[in-house]
Amino acid sequence: MSDQKPSDSLEELRDAIDRVDAELIRLFAQRMELARRVGAYKKERNLPVLDPERERRLIASRVAQAGDPGLAGPVAELFETLMRLSREAQAAVVAMVAPRHIYLIGMPGSGKSTLGQALAASLSLPFADMDARIETLAAMPIARIFAESGEQAFRRLESEALAQCAHGPPQVVATGGGAVLCEANVALMRATGTVLWVDRPLDQILGDLRQDTRPLLAGDAAERLRALYAEREALYRAAAHCRLDNSGALAHTVQRALALLKGEPHEKQIGTDVP
């Protein structure tokens, strides 16, 4: 070194730093990729991204690893930054909404269509209303399909319309209240998307239900609705990934649905009784 010109030596040193930096960049990219995988693991198991106690332990262990007391401050600073970047990368993965369908299931009048339209707008996804699709397929209103061809024929059309939606691009789908009666429909929904059970107190449903378009509620609507709920509650529960209480304001329900879909751990618990 001593026989080299200072400028040559500086060149060499800079080259050496370049090589170290190249290696650092390679290792940093590797570390960030691992952070994203940790994010995916946490998302799947609903674990929080931030674990301050672990971060404190990790920084202390890296400082100890460095050995040189003169490096303690810089190493701590370096790992604080690395940890922040890792946390951000994890959070980005956790917040990612998978490009799959979002199916809304639940009783007639539970607010699936209204909520579905609002959710679709918030997520910039198309919205599909199964009942409307069925009416298009059959070229007649639902009440007439029931009257002229019977419920079984209606259910076949319902499964056909659902399959069309499922095989299309990601969208928010408001299903008819009886879509869960068919096991194949449930399996298809669960395989191709996230299924949210929109649950609303029956008294509220009865308060603003228009019966004219719902043949299954003909007669004593209150009695029919209660009977349907008794028959279907377990089916909705089993079909759904999460239950979404829809007894409050629409904006509030939309907000919670979005949080649920982004997998925020706190919000996941909204569906208390749904695994």
Residues that bind ligand S3P (CB under 6 A): 108, 131, 142, 176-178, 214-216
Least Å distance between CB 216 and ligand S3P? 5
Task: Please answer whether residues 158 and 64 qualify as being in contact, where contact means their C-beta atoms are separated by less than 8 angstroms.
Answer: no
State the minimum distance, in angstroms, from the CB of residue 258 to ligand S3P: 22
Give min distance, CB of 225 to ligand S3P, in A.
Answer: 10
Nearer CB in complex with ligand S3P: 40/227 = 227
Of the pair 215, 265, the CB lying nearest ligand S3P is at 215
Nearest residue (CB) to ligand S3P, 42 versus 133: 133
Tell me the closest approach of the beta carbon of residue 135 to ligand S3P, in angstroms: 10
- The minimum distance between CB 210 and ligand S3P, in angstroms, equals 9
Structure tokens at 201: 């107190």
Q: Which is nearer to ligand S3P, 142 or 165 (CB)?
A: 142
Spatial distance between the Cα atoms of 68 and 269, rounded to a whole number of angstroms: 46
Task: Write down the least CB distance from residue 113 to ligand S3P, Å.
Answer: 6
Nearer to ligand S3P by Cβ, of 120 and 216: the residue is 216
According to DSSP, the β-strands at 193-199 and 127-129 are unpaired
| Residue number with CB closer to ligand S3P (142 or 242) | 142
For the chain, give percent helix, strand, coil, nearest 5: 70, 10, 25
Asked if residues 125 and 172 have their Cβ atoms less than 8 Å apart, the reply is: yes
* Nearest Cα to Cα of residue 114 among 270, 250, 241, 1: 250
Nearest Cα to 245, choosing from 237, 235, 256, 234? 256
- Cβ contacts of 107 within 8 Å, gap of 6 or more: 177, 199, 200, 202, 205, 225, 228, 229, 232, 236
Do residues 165 and 130 touch, judged by C-beta distance below 8 A? yes
